[in-house]
Amino acid sequence: MATRTLDSPPAILPLYARAAAALIPGASLLPFVPGGGGEIPDLDLELASVEADPAAVAAYAKVCGFALRDHLPPTYPHVLAFPLQMAVMADGGFPFGAVGFVHVENRIEQHCRLGLGEKMTIRVRPTKLQPHPKGRAFSLLTEVTIGGQKAWESVSTMLRRGGGEKPPGSKRDDEAGKPELTTNAEWLLGGDLGRRYAAVSGDRNPIHVHSLTAKPLGFPGAIAHGMWTKARCLAALESRLPDAFTVDVRFRKPILLPGRVEFLSDAAGREIRFAVRDAKKQTPHLDGRVEPLEAEIQDREETR
């Protein structure tokens, strides 16, 4: 797989137009429009000298609940990588259009805090399609390096709904033995949350921005972005997060907007389990876990 190096971040709106064009019957026959079926092509995009804009980081922090600091929120590199992720999914060789994808799982490994003003190199590539009970899934692998050293990476698992099958050897989650979670906060989510998060993240998937655009794609109304929910949880846990950690989340039932949800977490400890549930029905929306990256923490302590 050859890496394609970009000179500048791809423009988001043309990519969305290309992705949306796949919904038009017959448009996928055009070579620049995704949706022709088949397998995910080998794509590997790289963008160097990426630097976060402090004003954009502040706006993002406000929407997600993070305090303003001299380093990036742990979920912000996902925003910086989003144009490359969209460029992958809007590629003419992609088997289906990106509009309507559902983000079902996300894993982040933060190897160190990323300071404001640091120049980063971002690399994104997709995996092959895998069976999923509700359709077909693939992952976007993202890596951020600073000075040639890996600083941050993520795995975003995306679902294309329809024609699902149970993967071989899959089984239900075993809840036994997991620590009990305590409700820490209740969050009231406005009907405009999807639009506010879209403005600071660039993720304008129509399933998030308005009920009128979500319903044609199979949703009863607009739903909250999964990465906003993850970011809001990490903001609530910010005082407990080490410099280097892994955070895995599974997005369960979508959060319909407007909505009222509860944030839950376990007692103080190095490993943190957390969740988001509907405040009234206790419908599960997100389950997550934070684990320290012991090797990175120890290496930094030994160099002090």
pLDDT of residue 35: 63
H or E segment at 78?
helix 76-89
Weakly modelled stretches of the chain, pLDDT under 50: 170-172, 174-176, 301, 304
75: closest CA among 203, 231, 187, 225? Answer: 231
Fold of the CATH domain 4-171+179-303: Thiol Ester Dehydrase; Chain A (3.10.129)
**Rounded CA separation 282/17 (Å):** 37
3-class secondary structure for 2-56? Answer: CCEEECCCCCHHHHHHHHHHCCCCCHHHCCCCCCCCCCCCCCCEEEEEECCCHHH
Omega into 258 within 30° of 0, i.e. cis?
yes
Of 304, 254, 303, nearest to 283 by C-alpha is 254
Q: Buried (b) or exposed (e) across 279-295, using 16+ Cβ within 10 A?
A: beeebebbbbbbebbee
DSSP 8-state symbol, 114: -
Task: Note the pLDDT of residue 232.
Answer: 98
Residue spans of the domains in the chain: they are: 4-171+179-303
State the DSSP string of 165-189: -PPTT------TTPPPPEEEEEEEE
Nearest CA-CA partner of 196 in 2, 60, 56, 43: 60
CB-based contact 222:214 (threshold 8 Å)? yes
Q: How far is it, in rounded angstroms, from Cα 300 to Cα 139?
A: 31
pLDDT in tens, 39-59: 888 999 999 999 999 999 999
Q: How many CB atoms lie within 10 A of CB 65?
A: 17
State the pLDDT at residue 166. 61
